[in-house]
Structure 1
């Protein structure tokens, strides 16, 4: 049955576009096979070039970086020859087969190769685990964009190496802020924060103030962030501490002064989330918890500044300290092993999580065997807040496959519409960003809850077989 508004001409164009992309990906693999053959035949020695990379630079007029990437990819994805001339499979045979079939492209290959290189640095990783990782990523790459696959690859690495690589010592010493005053009086500055928690606090202070004020607000994101920084500076007292009454910042007195918020999972929980783009311009309803209220400038309080904790200073105009959300299995938190996960998907060292937990509100969530929330702690919060916390833990942001929108940019969507009798409950809701919320309501994509998580079925012009795709937080089979 044809979709509304989709005629024969539109379907033919969509089929041609899909066939063209498959052909492009197959040509890409054929190119890698040619690179591998040039290298095996040692053609560069005959031409006088300093290796195959230099030969490719001259022959194809490409940069050194691209020529080296092509040679490295050929070494991983093209079948090899032993010293005796015996044909050997590619290093990553499943990924190789997917590329040769035109099912995945160069972006997917780059993600898989980075993940496999990271897994190879795990000292106790078995050969079987490495083979299974290649199969798993190649299979999921057929259904995901490179961005979605990146999030899944992070989850896979976290699953196989929960303690992660040791963070560099003295990392904070590399933090810097360069400020240059020009002759005309303007300031130019650039800097870097290496601690992911510090980075999350910085964005947590800037981005809520940098949201668009309405449809008439045409400022770029860069301009809005600059205005937000000026607002923070304008509201600071001479000592540099932003002014305001922190006690008026929160809807819940029990949460005032909390520097971060942990979701401690007592059960089989997911331990990583997709990376989320905090620079997204699409502003939706807030998921998880309400933002601290910002009073009108005319009613700016003049009380003493509130306490400042380990997660950052108070916000402007009495907004309270920046609220962080850290998700971590309660057993890991107690034993100081594994890792915590920020909203952005960045992993945090367990000792850092324990330090932040000394001055934080802990929201317990009991999970079932499939990691779906079974019981949601409320800490004196209303049921809708508890449901949003559960959706955040389960979906990690926009649940649409491959989307990287963070929870604060998402809306809670009823799978069975509320007007049609659908319940407002975790089992009937998922987080969607504004764009994908509108896309789902067009009716071409359908959502079904399977084993406690949302699955998205695409229209037939995207997948003729209409195979459901898992949505929400990336999950790795145990």
Structure 2
């Protein structure tokens, strides 16, 4: 397979070096269609490889929390793109043979395969195997004529073509299935932007949408004729106000042993001089003005820092990694310290480098911040963790993964 792929790669490179301006219109159109077919065939091969790697558990064996996270680091993909790739691989793997053949032949694309697979599953559950076989043929034929969006729309009435005697009853079942999909597809994605802002995207189910509107609508009304905020800005401010109200209730669950709170780190001298920026416990930086606003209603905890931001003292030690010791870990590690992990501090636990049961003490020199997945992975794998000469954690991989066992560090979290 690798030899064939190398030959294909060489052929594609040769095509790229061929000047397109010298070709006729007919040749350009033919080349474009051939390129599209090749792209779909390569997509089929890629999905086959992803499915096999996912099935073998290669990603988790190498320390990643999932195949999607492993693909993100290995192929430098966005985690959303990587997750979608894993889902598509599973869809293609369970698709009927005719559909997989059509994808491998370049006749359909992966989005059309997803639509066909979901439609066929619905037909099978309502009309039986005979109608399902007919539906596969009809849908594959339609896919050669229509894109995925139109194909999905046509698929809602597929039973009119393959089982008209039960089409009306199936339409009602389809409505119930759509309601079930809405519940399944509810999600909220929080994406960090390069400048520290967050992009919120997602789909709320009917009930959650009603609750959100009830909570923010009263706060989105313009405050007066001088309120120049756009509707979108007013909704943004209303959501922030609702979150602040929730934090003030004191009824939210604890997070990492501490009450739910906004944690910001800054220098005391800079704060008093109103000059210094600060770092949130998510690792993001905020301006001096934002630091002062948050400090107006905050508890100030002292921490003594040495060179390179090493924490020297944060107050009294405890048996559990909570309170001041946890804050010290957040200050030092900025998130899960395992290489390649981008989980923020709020998702992490404190881990004893030398286990408590083995006589290890609860101190900053014997602790590291790990997300739940990597905390479990470290306890059940051959990875080891130690503190480097600068006091920051580094992880030694097992010999089967790296013969030289060179220590690795997390580079996702910014250091100050």
- In the superposition, the TM-score normalised over structure 2's length comes to 0.44
- In the superposition, the TM-score normalised over structure 1's length comes to 0.39
Greater gyration radius: 2
